[in-house]
Amino acid sequence: MQLKKHKRHNMNKRIVFRHMEHSSVLDEYANQQLTKIEHFLESEREPIYIDLIFEPSKVHQHHKVELRVKTPHYDLISTYEHEGDKFYDTVDRVIDTMYKELHEKKKLLKKDKEKTTGRHEEFKKQR
pLDDT tens profile 87-122:
888 899 999 999 999 999 999 988 887 777 655 555
Residue-range domains of the chain with CATH: 12-126 (3.30.160.100)
83 vs 122, higher pLDDT: 83
Distances, alpha carbon 13 to alpha carbons 5, 44, 87, 89, 115, in Å: 22, 15, 19, 21, 33
In which order are the strands placed within the sheet that holds 75-83? 12-17, 49-55, 62-70, 75-83
- Beta-bridge partner residues of 82: 63
